[in-house]
């Protein structure tokens, strides 16, 4: 009886410790897709809305947001992002919107973008963007159901 009671006490004490140790292992992907720490491969998030195309950012117009460095083409677009990053940052942390609709996480390229209902969506490739575009509202609904839990799946 004493051994069983000790085992139960040890197990009860170990659960919080093991939960804390394992928690970092479950964070499979960062919140923002940013290879090398740079979001959108260094492209200006605001330019997608203003120019309607990907525009390379410049290192002198950079800021940190959500653990990533974001580059901008000029001071004006950097200030616009800084004042309201949620309005300009790509949905799903810049991961592929179509992959997210399937419950998966995939990288993106700056050229494969869509601005829909005032939101920026990125895709793995222009070919995947074509598939995504066939049912944007349906794909958004599916992706929203998986975001952000898909980041912790392996």
- Reported as a single tens digit per residue, the pLDDT across 65-89 is 999 999 999 999 999 999 999 999 9
- The whole-number pLDDT of residue 4 equals 56
Q: Is residue 22 part of a domain?
A: no
Rg (CA), the chain: 20
- The whole-number pLDDT of residue 154 equals 58
Q: Is residue 13 part of a domain?
A: no
Beta strands in the chain (DSSP E): 58-65, 68-72, 113-116, 119-122
Q: Is residue 68 part of a domain?
A: yes
Q: Is residue 19 part of a domain?
A: no
Last residue of a domain, one of 53, 68, 86: 86
Quick one: which of 54, 151, 137 has its CA closest to 96? 151
**80 and 94 housed in the same domain:** no
How deeply is 1 buried, as exposed, middle or buried, from its count of CB atoms within 10 A (0-12, 13-18, 19+)? exposed
Domains identified in the chain, total number = 2
- The whole-number pLDDT of residue 129 equals 98
Give the domain extent around 77.
Answer: 33-86
Quick one: which of 114, 77, 76, 109 has its CA closest to 95? 109
Q: Is residue 18 part of a domain?
A: no
**130 and 96 housed in the same domain:** yes
How deeply is 14 buried, as exposed, middle or buried, from its count of CB atoms within 10 A (0-12, 13-18, 19+)? exposed
Q: Is residue 25 part of a domain?
A: no
- Tell me the two tokens of residue 5: 């009671």
Q: Is residue 12 part of a domain?
A: no
Quick one: which of 43, 42, 55, 118 has its CA closest to 84? 118
**97 and 153 housed in the same domain:** yes
Please say if the pLDDT value at position 55 is more than 50. Answer: yes
Please say if the pLDDT value at position 5 is more than 90. Answer: no
Characterize the bridge pairing of strands 113-116 and 68-72: unpaired
- The whole-number pLDDT of residue 7 equals 46
pLDDT digits (tens, 9 = 90+) for 112-139: 999 999 999 999 999 999 999 999 999 9
User: What global pTM score does this model have?
Assistant: 0.82
61-90: burial string, b at 16+ Cβ within 10 Å, e else: beeebeebbbbbbeeebbebbeeeeeebbb
**70 and 112 housed in the same domain:** no
């Amino acid at each position: 009886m004493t051994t069983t009671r000790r085992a139960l006490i040890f197990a009860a004490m170990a659960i919080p410790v093991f939960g804390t140790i394992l928690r970092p292992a479950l964070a499979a992907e960062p919140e923002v897709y940013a290879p090398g720490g740079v979001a959108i491969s260094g492209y200006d998030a605001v330019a997608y809305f203003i120019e309607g195309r990907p525009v390379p950012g410049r290192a002198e117009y950079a800021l940190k947001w959500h653990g990533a460095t974001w580059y901008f083409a000029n001071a004006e677009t950097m200030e616009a992002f800084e004042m309201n990053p949620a309005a300009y940052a790509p949905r799903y942390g810049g991961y592929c919107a179509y992959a997210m609709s399937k419950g998966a996480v995939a990288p993106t390229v700056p050229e494969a973008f869509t601005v829909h209902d005032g939101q920026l969506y990125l895709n793995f490739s222009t070919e995947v963007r074509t598939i995504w575009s066939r049912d944007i509202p349906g794909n958004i609904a599916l992706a929203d159901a998986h975001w952000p839990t898909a980041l912790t799946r392996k």
